[in-house]
Amino acid sequence: MSDLVTVKHLHKEYDGNTVLKDISLSVKKGEVVVIIGPSGCGKSTFLRCLNGLEEINSGEITVDDVPVRAGSDEISRVRQKIGMVFQSYELFPHKTVLENLLLAPRIVQKRDRKEAEAEALQLLEKVGLSDKKDYYPRQLSGGQRQRVAIVRALIMHPEVMLFDEVTAALDPEMVHEVLRTMLELAKSGSTMIIVTHEMEFARAVADRIVFFDEGDIVEESEDVDGFFRHPDTERAQKFLKTFSYE
């Protein structure tokens, strides 16, 4: 299976402070890669670099063999290959759920309204929100808003989905419904790169675990259960001891 996302020697710094150190990583089509690590280790910055939301100092990022460069002429086209879901939803408060979903397909992709609306309703049905199409974001729970944000990304038909701590802002009882939606996506064969602190979810969904610390990849494993039982590095062992799971 060919690599869909390729990162080579990525280096990122802010005001002379290094955030990402010579990161190299590849993700195959249909693979689910979960990135874990302590807060402030560069995980979210890495995702933002993948989507061209952050300029990089050096290195190379490609998605489906197309270079990702913040500010480049082709960045809008490249971003259509990349769906990103943030922890803060980013929904337009003055538009209904359906209006939020139709905005990008209609404006960016110039799609027919009838066709786009039919797909939006189908996707809402899949995440259990078909009855909320005419609601405004303020009328939804946090978990419902996050599922709408996932649908908004999916309707653009991205090659890869990026998830940045999408449950971090949710009440505990709302976390499960969002993680269940992401598990279904993984089972459907979607290519996903997920940053999360939900260790049980990471264990259940990942094809590969990547452990970040201090802007570097400290450990990487396709033996997901083995990693969680006994990681190779002392740093990962120490990190996992802060969580309780079987």
25-82 pLDDT tens trace: 999 999 999 999 999 999 999 999 999 999 999 999 999 988 998 777 778 888 889 9
Flag the least confident range among 45-49, 177-181, 189-193: 177-181
Domain ranges of the chain: 3-88+158-240
Answer yes or no: is pLDDT of 245 > 60.
no
Q: How high is the mean pLDDT of the chain?
A: 92
Residues 6+ away with beta carbon under 8 Å from 167: 87, 146, 174, 175, 178, 179, 196, 198
pLDDT at 216 over 90: yes
For residue 59, give every residue at least 6 positions away whose Cβ sits within 8 Å of its Cβ, in sequence order, or none: 7, 8, 9, 10, 11, 22, 23
CATH number of 3-88+158-240: 3.40.50.300
What are φ and ψ of residue 226, in 5° steps? Answer: -60, -40
pLDDT grade for 192, boundaries at 50, 70 and 90: very high
Which pLDDT belongs to residue 80? 85
pLDDT exceeds cutoff 50 at 246: no
Res. 193: pLDDT tops 80: yes
Q: In b/e form, how buried is each residue of 87-112, taking b as 16+ CB within 10 angstroms?
A: bebebeeeebbbbbbbebbeeeeebe
Q: What is the pLDDT of residues 89-130, one digit of tens each?
A: 789 999 999 999 999 999 989 999 999 999 999 999 999 999
17 forms beta bridges with 14
Adjacent-strand bridge partners of 12: 20
- Tens digit of each residue's pLDDT (9 = 90 or more) over 227-236: 999 999 999 9
